[in-house]
Chains A and B, each alone.
Chain A
Amino acid sequence: DIQMTQSPSSLSASVGDRVIITCRASQNINNYLNWYQQKPGKAPKLLIYAASSLQSGVPSRFSGSGSGTDFTLTISSLQPEDFATYYCQESYSTPSLTFGGGTKVEIK
């Protein structure tokens, strides 16, 4: 199985900060990488697919990059509604479709 490792597991940031979350795959997954946001008590929400494509309706302060094994999710200017947990997910190795362990973004 492909392993997906996110870092950091948690971070504290202030409104307006630039936040970068990384995700590393244990093998080459090309750009078959998705990012989700999950708020407490809610289902995950798709932010980015195919490593860098912004899902419709998602604010442009969210962006994704990377290919191969190393990927990043960037929030250019953190907003109050962005405090949540973020997950990466590979869609290369059907049927496993492994998620990363998550990164919790908290208020500093």
Chain B
Amino acid sequence: QLQLQESGPGLVKPSETLSLTCTVSGGSISSSSFYGGWIRQPPGKGLEFIAAINYSGITYYKPSLRSRVTISVDLSKNQFSLTLSSVTAADSAMYYCARQYYDVLTGYYYFDRWGQGTLVTVSS
């Protein structure tokens, strides 16, 4: 059973860079069907897609966050990572990593496996 686990600091100072890692177990991320994605959820609010990457390094980002976000993959560790620069209080949220399954036959994408989430607070 594929499992995902987020890790990273729970507290980041304003203007600094947030770095999170998602470790995948129970399966390989080196699959044409696997995209590793990051989604966040501010307290009491809805879900926001941030970015996704596949094993070959194909990436896509939410346009409004693109200038501050970098997503990367480490196949040797079965991990993918997110950095978000110049953070403000508005970036405080629960951050989830998830597998975005890509059906190569139909072209459908959906987030079918999620980590438990990690709460990040931006505060001095």
Listed in ascending order, the chain A residues whose CB lies under 8 Å from chain B are 1, 32, 34, 36, 38, 42-46, 49-50, 55, 87, 89, 91, 94-102
B80 at the A/B interface (Cβ < 8 Å)? no
Interface-side segment among B24-32, B85-93, B107-115: B107-115
Listed in ascending order, the chain B residues whose CB lies under 8 Å from chain A are 46-49, 51-52, 60-63, 96, 98, 106, 108-112, 114-117
The reply to whether B116 and A91 form a contact with Cβ atoms under 8 Å apart is no
- Report the bound CA distance from A87 to B62 in whole Å: 18
- Report the bound CA distance from A97 to B63 in whole Å: 11
The reply to whether A45 and B62 form a contact with Cβ atoms under 8 Å apart is no
Give every chain A residue within 8 A of B51 (Cβ-Cβ). 95
| Chain A contact residues, majority secondary structure | loop
- Report the bound CA distance from A87 to B47 in whole Å: 8
Give every chain A residue within 8 A of B111 (Cβ-Cβ). 34, 36, 44, 46, 89
Chain A residue at minimum C-beta to C-beta distance from B96: A43
Shortest 10 CB-CB distances between A and B: which pairs? A95-B60, A43-B114, A49-B110, A97-B49, A91-B109, A99-B47, A34-B110, A46-B112, A50-B108, A102-B46
Q: Are A97 and B114 also in contact (CB < 8 A) when A1-B63, A43-B96, A102-B46 are?
A: no
- Report the bound CA distance from A36 to B117 in whole Å: 16
Give every chain A residue within 8 A of B98 (Cβ-Cβ). 43
